[in-house]
Amino acid sequence: MTKPRTEGANLPADKLAELYRTMRLIRDFEESMIKFQKAGELPGPVHLCIGQEAVATGICDHLDDTDYIASTHRGHGHFIAKGGDPALMMAEVFGRVDGICQGKGGSMHAADFSKGILGANGIVAGGVGLATGAAYACQLAGKGQVSVVFFGDGAAAQGVISEALNVASLWKLPLLLVCENNGYSEFSPYNTVNAGEIADRGAAFKVPSIQVDGNDMVTMWRTARTAVERARAGEGPTLIEAQTYRHRGHVEYEDTFLTKPYRSEEEVEAWKAKDPLPRFRDYLVSGELVPSEDLDAIDADTASIIRNAADFARNSPWPEPGDALKHMF
Amino acid sequence: MTKPRTEGANLPADKLAELYRTMRLIRDFEESMIKFQKAGELPGPVHLCIGQEAVATGICDHLDDTDYIASTHRGHGHFIAKGGDPALMMAEVFGRVDGICQGKGGSMHAADFSKGILGANGIVAGGVGLATGAAYACQLAGKGQVSVVFFGDGAAAQGVISEALNVASLWKLPLLLVCENNGYSEFSPYNTVNAGEIADRGAAFKVPSIQVDGNDMVTMWRTARTAVERARAGEGPTLIEAQTYRHRGHVEYEDTFLTKPYRSEEEVEAWKAKDPLPRFRDYLVSGELVPSEDLDAIDADTASIIRNAADFARNSPWPEPGDALKHMF
Amino acid sequence: MARKRLMHAIHEAFVEEMERDERVVIFGEDVEISLFGDTAGLADRFGQMRVRNTPICENVMTGMAAGAAAAGYRPVCHLMFGNFIYTGFDAIANQVSKLRYMTAGQIKLPLVYFAVYGGGRSASAQHSDVMYPALMNLGGIKVAVPGTPADAKGLLKSAIRDDSPVVFLITGGRTGAAGEVPDGEHLVPLGEADIKHEGTDVTLVAMSGMVAPALVAAQELAKEGVSVELVDPRCVVPLDEDAILRSVCKTGRLVIVDEARDMCSAASHISAIAADKAFESLKAPIRRVTVPDVAIPYAPVLEKHILPNKDTIAEAVRAVVNYRKQ
Amino acid sequence: MARKRLMHAIHEAFVEEMERDERVVIFGEDVEISLFGDTAGLADRFGQMRVRNTPICENVMTGMAAGAAAAGYRPVCHLMFGNFIYTGFDAIANQVSKLRYMTAGQIKLPLVYFAVYGGGRSASAQHSDVMYPALMNLGGIKVAVPGTPADAKGLLKSAIRDDSPVVFLITGGRTGAAGEVPDGEHLVPLGEADIKHEGTDVTLVAMSGMVAPALVAAQELAKEGVSVELVDPRCVVPLDEDAILRSVCKTGRLVIVDEARDMCSAASHISAIAADKAFESLKAPIRRVTVPDVAIPYAPVLEKHILPNKDTIAEAVRAVVNYRKQ
Ligand SMILES: Cc1ncc(C[n+]2csc(CCOP(=O)(O)OP(=O)(O)O)c2C)c(N)n1
Ligand SMILES: Cc1ncc(C[n+]2csc(CCOP(=O)(O)OP(=O)(O)O)c2C)c(N)n1
Ligand SMILES: [Mg+2]
Ligand SMILES: [Mg+2]
């Protein structure tokens, strides 16, 4: 595996602001979910990605609507970063008819095919096959599209990953395998469920593999760029292991059933100190790359987007019961 | 991965003769199968391991009846090397009631649990889970037993292999993963179905991995010894990639349906020149390790065992039709 | 007797069987911390060798259960949600269901696959399936589907002691109504139905999560003067055909409630058995109250629409009872 | 019209559809060289990008079909033997059968899983299963089970053109009897039964490999004066219930032949439909001629004992026709 060095950014200010905006929007969406879940407004479970926003943002910034992503149960960030409408996802998580899946999927299945979002997934590593197949389609189409699969460190233990590494390498598919290593597979710490390092698993299949600080927005973005360019140029797949952390629990209601803690307060605090959002903000402001007023304006804007999304979701009606019978074929 | 050096053997003559005997017995069994298949005496398909005998022999020589093996569709060699009775397997392949599975399994399912032979397998990589579970049982029992799974280079692409590498490494299971790389997955050459080298896939999971000349009886034996000792000592799994070749087709009747060749005559001839059986014999005789008369006597003995096995199989009755309903629970 | 929640009853069964037989081991994702409470505390009590967290790797896990069983242990492979049975289906369908048969009975496979399944919790399509129809068709695998805490405990203990592979399925996670559970050793044999409500007008077969609403329906119908016999098979493999047929021969009418999708459901199969073997007695069409052939939706209003409930059950029973040959 | 073997008809369908639509691609293990002859020569003709050998990796392959379909292609994922559907079952059951529904119809999944299945060749338990019952219960997946070369061609062409996932299953490998296949464009709609033999005394439903022996049985029974109506549903999903019920209402008797194991078989489900919707017309019990709930054995004598054949079919028909209420 290779490990990219953190470099000074020479990205234009508007690009930096855009990346900040995406992260902020994801964060606001997720924080609203905490509230709605507590208030009992969400019918089903939600898995939040607070603390991991830089990964989705850094990868998806290089993608167009004609590129594909397959996501996980922790998929809100990917959906938003790939250009999905937060209001449509919000209504979906509320189970309403104006949801992106008309209330049929919920958080774990939010998808927007018009944006190349093949969907969140309730099956760990379930997106791997989908994205690999989409990568095959991209290759057949010959237009330089790429396909990305996000998966967790827990998912890395699933055999389908090695199957995908093998076939993507042999076929030189335009596929990015992006592992968000947040240190836990549900409640199991990394080293109890993964032998060795995930980024080491690509080499044996001749897949270039990179281990990157997933909380470092700029490095993440650069790493993604290289991999996407490689894929678009027909040079094949890349495995990226982004090291990050989830601030929230595995699932929002976990306190109701866990009888003992599975990680220490200190560990959580230590990672919160590395929160990618304030870190990126500091970097932008202290480096005088984007004025803090601009970032404040973004904050205000994303907050209002999420407020509106929540209104939209809450005001959307429930689906018609009989619609349960539609959409099988 | 590591590659063992071929060393001069300082094995006692009786051990060397024993290894020769096992290889010879497998070879004779398989050659009889060619004949019986051609004569239409076998109801189902057979996959022969001629050319690969040293692998089964070298591994299983280190195992007792209380150790476990899980085999493949090409499983006759493993069965014999692990101490299974060739006559009982022969009758099984003939579909007769005296077969080791009373005619219910055939070649692809020959098993003898009393000898720790968990069975051949019609599912590529199907033995991986079985052997891993048996290794868990061995560990629980704490008596130093080990478990071995044989699989092919084609099977190496199956995700379950990486799942087993991961869990066996984490749990330090007494498991040997033995890949018989004979260069083909059915009719697909190695490099069309495998990216990189199989023996490289263990390292990422911290599983010691060895690539070995599977046609070199002594080196194979030594390599196996190290791995088995490691496992018995509680030090965990080993991945062994044994490079070898099958002289016969993928399946005995393949000429009846293949419309074009999938490998060259020259390639086959080149590998036949490296046939492990004459090679080992030469080594024994030219090195004056075992007198050729002793080997001739072994040849005569194994030939008669197989002749008797064939008589036993042929004379065994068909099962009672109604027995088809037995043995489910 | 004491009232206990289903998960509590399950937990007791695990503890008792692990105490009783040290060959009983449990492995699966996060079994140490325990999502549903069923395995909570077992690792502390029995050690991490016997109660062992696995990585997420259903393919090898399902096969490992077979290997460990073949090598002398009595593993419980905890698969968390029933849908993950599909993820590990290869070893279940291609190895476990056939290994004993293919080897002419050489081997016993005393193993249990454990999972929580079914809908009603807005857990969506990938966490709400009912997968016993696929398992029933495999042959070689027993399938227990208890509907009460007492049956859950008694069947799980039998499943762990059974020498054949058993898939043990329960609904509902930590919730699930409480019920009386006998104290001390309590075994329910696999394959023996239980009459949950006696009656003479119509046989209602219901299992697992459908027993409770079926019982309510039976009680409500009693007030209308309809006498329902509620038969709970408790296992779908082996299926207690005799008990079902006995009841149908008595009542002449049959309704089957099954949370499975309709096509090739347990309900279909039970209906087929009755249409063959109790034809003579039948006074009315056999009705199935099942889930339509769709995936399970997220929104509660949608999910509610497709899952059987006491009213749809009662309605089907009334239709059958009121049926008159045209 | 020309007589062709089943595999030849299949091959023609592949060629025609690949000519017609360049989005049609085929991938699977050794599809280039072709084990069964069905895909022989296609790689030379259409190039290795469209006819592509895969490594052995059913888990990712089945998912890839969904991804390629979602991204605009019409993939045929060749799974060789039906049992390997179990190996790749996760994506089929957890993704493909639900993706369209979960996303409220956002996406079409025009893909075909192709496999050869069933017994009768001493290929043993792991190469001889009949797996459509499990598929039928998933919802969301169409399942074509042609019994003649003409139906195979016509259904495969429809399957490739269909916007839903279809599992396409044929029996028997390179063998299989020849039959007349119409020249030129020949399409059979998915979900439309075919009356293979008209009759008035009893309805016999048979599909796939069971059509041929059922037809022989019908012809033999005709000589005995028993008039059999042989209905071949050709697809088990969608199932042409109307055609089956129409026939049962006419004949008043029903026998179903199915090579699946009995529990939750297609036969069970068809029986259940009739016991519900054609109850009024039934003059006799509904009989199923299926495979007992065991794995498929190796020895020919054992295999023969459990597979339906013309004699066991005829016997079941006679029993139903001779049935008199006690
Ligand atoms: C096939 C399958 N097995 C198990 C689960 C239950 N499960 C849901 S999330 C999860 C842990 C996933 O960990 P990771 O991949 O690291 O993702 P993270 O939650 O950390 O984002 C598990 C075991 C599942 N959904 N699917
Ligand atoms: C799950 C599964 N997929 C496909 C097959 C068909 N198949 C049988 S053997 C084989 C090739 C195996 O190659 P390899 O593992 O190298 O073993 P070898 O035949 O060379 O000994 C294939 C594809 C199968 N039996 N099981
Ligand atoms: Mg994680
Ligand atoms: Mg090989």
Residue D221: name the closest of D144, D72, D321 by CA.
Answer: D321
Entry field: residues in chain C: 326
List chains adjacent to chain C, taking adjacency as at least 3 C-beta pairs closer than 8 Å. Answer: A, B, D
Whole-number pLDDT of residue C174: 52
Pocket around ligand 2 at a 6 A CB cut-off:
B 72-74, 122-124, 151-155, 182, 184-186, 250; D 29, 56, 58, 80, 84, 87
Tokens of B128: 């991986």
Neighbours of ion ligand 3 (CB under 5 A): A 152-154, 182, 184
Whole-number pLDDT of residue C312: 98
Domain boundaries, chain A: 20-157+166-258+299-308
> Strand A238-243 vs strand A175-181: parallel, antiparallel, or unpaired?
parallel
Average pLDDT of the residues of chain D: 96
Q: In what order do the strands lie in the sheet with D228-232?
A: D194-197, D228-232, D202-206, D254-261, D287-291
> Strand D202-206 vs strand D235-237: parallel, antiparallel, or unpaired?
unpaired
| B114 touches D at CB < 8 Å | no
- A256 burial (CB, 10 Å; 0-12 / 13-18 / 19+) is exposed
Tokens of D229: 């109506």
Of D8, D127, D186, D269, the catalytic one is D127
> What average pLDDT does the segment C268-295 reach?
98
Cβ–Cβ under 8 Å, residues A157 and B166: yes
Whole-number pLDDT of residue D319: 98
Tell me how far apart the alpha carbons of residues B84 and B167 are, in angstroms, rounded to a whole number.
29
Tell me how far apart the alpha carbons of residues B214 and B246 are, in angstroms, rounded to a whole number.
11
Whole-number pLDDT of residue B2: 84
What band does C175 get if pLDDT is binned at 50, 70 and 90?
low
Contacts of A142 (CB under 8 A, 6+ apart): none
Tell me how far apart the alpha carbons of residues D317 and B65 are, in angstroms, rounded to a whole number.
52
User: Is A70 strand, coil or helix?
Assistant: strand
Residue B135: name the closest of B175, B95, B165, B179 by CA.
Answer: B175
Q: Which residues of C touch D138 (CB under 8 A)?
A: 261
Q: How far is CA B124 from the centre of its chain?
A: 14
Q: What is the pLDDT of residues C45-58, one digit of tens each?
A: 999 999 999 999 99
Distances (CA, A) of A99 to A94, A183, D56, D233: 8, 32, 39, 38
Q: Which residues of A touch D95 (CB under 8 A)?
A: 121, 123, 126, 129-130
What band does A1 get if pLDDT is binned at 50, 70 and 90?
confident
3-class SS shares of chain C: helix, strand, coil, % to 5: 40, 20, 40
Average pLDDT of the residues of chain A: 97
Cβ–Cβ under 8 Å, residues B136 and B167: no
Q: Give the percent of chain B with pLDDT over 70.
A: 98
Whole-number pLDDT of residue B135: 99
Tell me how far apart the alpha carbons of residues D210 and D151 are, in angstroms, rounded to a whole number.
14
What band does D176 get if pLDDT is binned at 50, 70 and 90?
low
Q: What is the pLDDT of residues B3-62, one digit of tens each?
A: 876 655 579 999 999 999 999 999 999 999 999 999 999 999 999 999 999 999 999 999
The bound ligand whose nearest atom lies closest to the alpha carbon of C56 is: 1
Which residue reads 């010894």 in tokens? B225
3-class SS shares of chain A: helix, strand, coil, % to 5: 50, 10, 40
Whole-number pLDDT of residue B262: 97
> What average pLDDT does the segment A67-88 reach?
98
Contacts of C242 (CB under 8 A, 6+ apart): none
Per-residue pLDDT for D175 more than 70? no
Cβ–Cβ under 8 Å, residues C66 and B129: yes
Residue C253: name the closest of C214, C224, C219, C287 by CA.
Answer: C287
Contacts of B278 (CB under 8 A, 6+ apart): none
Tell me how far apart the alpha carbons of residues D59 and D87 are, in angstroms, rounded to a whole number.
7
Tell me how far apart the alpha carbons of residues B58 and B69 are, in angstroms, rounded to a whole number.
13
Whole-number pLDDT of residue C304: 97
What is the enclosing helix (H) or strand (E) of D28? strand D24-28
Per-residue pLDDT for C322 more than 80? yes
**Whose Cα sits closest to atom 17 in ligand 1?**
A152
Tell me how far apart the alpha carbons of residues D258 and D266 are, in angstroms, rounded to a whole number.
7
Whole-number pLDDT of residue D16: 98
Provide the strand spans (E) within chain C: 2-5, 24-28, 51-53, 74-81, 112-117, 142-144, 166-171, 178-181, 194-197, 202-206, 228-232, 235-237, 254-261, 287-291
Q: What residue of B is the nearest CA neighbor of D304?
A: B321
* Mutate: best of B140, B177, B326, partner C, most C CBs <10 A: B140
Whole-number pLDDT of residue A196: 98
Whole-number pLDDT of residue D173: 56
Tell me how far apart the alpha carbons of residues A228 and A312 are, in angstroms, rounded to a whole number.
35
Peptide bond just before B321 cis, omega within 30 deg = no
Residue A280: name the closest of A4, A78, A28, A17 by CA.
Answer: A17
Tell me how far apart the alpha carbons of residues A95 and A30 are, in angstroms, rounded to a whole number.
16
Per-residue pLDDT for A6 more than 70? no
From C29, C36, C56, give the residue whose CB has the most ligand 1 atoms within 8 Å, as the site to mutate: C56
> What average pLDDT does the segment B166-176 reach?
98
> What average pLDDT does the segment C136-154 reach?
97
Residue A214 identity: G
Tell me how far apart the alpha carbons of residues A274 and A295 are, in angstroms, rounded to a whole number.
19
Q: How far is the CA of A59 from the centre of ligand 3 (A)?
A: 18
What is the enclosing helix (H) or strand (E) of A68? strand A68-70
Q: How far is the CA of B131 from the centre of ligand 1 (A)?
A: 25
Asked if the Cβ–Cβ distance from D124 to C102 is below 8 Å, we say yes
Backbone angles phi, psi at A220, to 5 degrees: -60, -45
Please indicate whether residue D127 is annotated as part of the active site.
yes
Cβ–Cβ under 8 Å, residues D41 and D201: no
Other CB atoms within a 10 A radius of the CB of residue C177 amount to: 11
Whole-number pLDDT of residue C173: 56
Q: What's B227's DSSP letter?
A: H
- Longest Cα–Cα distance of chain B, Å, equals 57
Per-residue pLDDT for A97 more than 90? yes
Tell me how far apart the alpha carbons of residues C22 and C4 are, in angstroms, rounded to a whole number.
26
Whole-number pLDDT of residue C176: 67
Q: Which residues of C touch B166 (CB under 8 A)?
A: 55, 57
Residue C81: name the closest of C58, C104, C101, C59 by CA.
Answer: C58
Tell me how far apart the alpha carbons of residues C313 and B282 are, in angstroms, rounded to a whole number.
79
Provide the strand spans (E) within C218-307: 228-232, 235-237, 254-261, 287-291
Q: What is the pLDDT of residues D262-318, one digit of tens each?
A: 999 999 999 999 999 999 999 999 999 999 999 999 999 999 999 999 999 999 999
Q: What is the pLDDT of residues C116-132, one digit of tens each?
A: 999 999 999 999 999 99
Tell me how far apart the alpha carbons of residues B196 and A198 are, in angstroms, rounded to a whole number.
17
Tell me how far apart the alpha carbons of residues A27 and A21 are, in angstroms, rounded to a whole number.
10
Other CB atoms within a 10 A radius of the CB of residue D187 amount to: 14
| C253 touches D at CB < 8 Å | no
Q: Which domains does chain C have, with CATH numbers?
A: 2-181 (3.40.50.970), 194-321 (3.40.50.920)
**Whose Cα sits closest to atom 8 in ligand 2?**
B124
Taking each helix axis as running N to C, give the angle between helix A292-315 and helix A276-286, from 0 to 180 degrees, rounded to the nearest 10: 150
Residue D49 identity: M
Cβ–Cβ under 8 Å, residues A73 and A120: yes
- A325 burial (CB, 10 Å; 0-12 / 13-18 / 19+) is middle
Other CB atoms within a 10 A radius of the CB of residue B321 amount to: 15
Average pLDDT of the residues of chain B: 97
Residue D29 identity: E
- In D146-210, which residue ranges form alpha helices assigned H by DSSP? 149-161
From B48, B49, B53, B73, give the residue whose CB has the most ligand 2 atoms within 8 Å, as the site to mutate: B73
Which residue reads 């699946």 in tokens? D260
| A8 touches C at CB < 8 Å | no
Q: How far is the CA of B57 from the centre of ligand 2 (A)?
A: 21
Tell me how far apart the alpha carbons of residues C273 and D288 are, in angstroms, rounded to a whole number.
9
Q: What is the DSSP string of C123-180?
A: --GGG----HHHHHTTSS-EEE---SHHHHHHHHHHHHH-SS-EEEEEESTT---EEE
List chains adjacent to chain D, taking adjacency as at least 3 C-beta pairs closer than 8 Å. Answer: A, B, C
Whole-number pLDDT of residue C299: 98
Asked if the Cβ–Cβ distance from A158 to C297 is below 8 Å, we say no
Q: How far is the CA of B154 from the centre of ligand 2 (A)?
A: 6
Q: Which residues of A touch D94 (CB under 8 A)?
A: 122-123, 126
> What average pLDDT does the segment D88-108 reach?
97
Tokens of A13: 């200010």
Tokens of B207: 């599983």
Q: How far is the CA of A154 from the centre of ligand 1 (A)?
A: 6
Cβ–Cβ under 8 Å, residues B99 and B93: yes
Asked if the Cβ–Cβ distance from B125 to D56 is below 8 Å, we say yes
Asked if the Cβ–Cβ distance from B206 to A195 is below 8 Å, we say yes
Classify domain A20-157+166-258+299-308 by CATH number.
3.40.50.970
- D196 burial (CB, 10 Å; 0-12 / 13-18 / 19+) is buried
> What average pLDDT does the segment D239-251 reach?
98
Q: Which residues of C touch A103 (CB under 8 A)?
A: 297-299, 301-302
Of C8, C78, C127, C197, the catalytic one is C127
DSSP bridge partners of C256: C205, C288
Tell me how far apart the alpha carbons of residues D68 and D75 are, in angstroms, rounded to a whole number.
7
Q: What is the pLDDT of residues B272-312, one digit of tens each?
A: 999 999 999 999 999 999 999 999 999 999 999 999 999 99
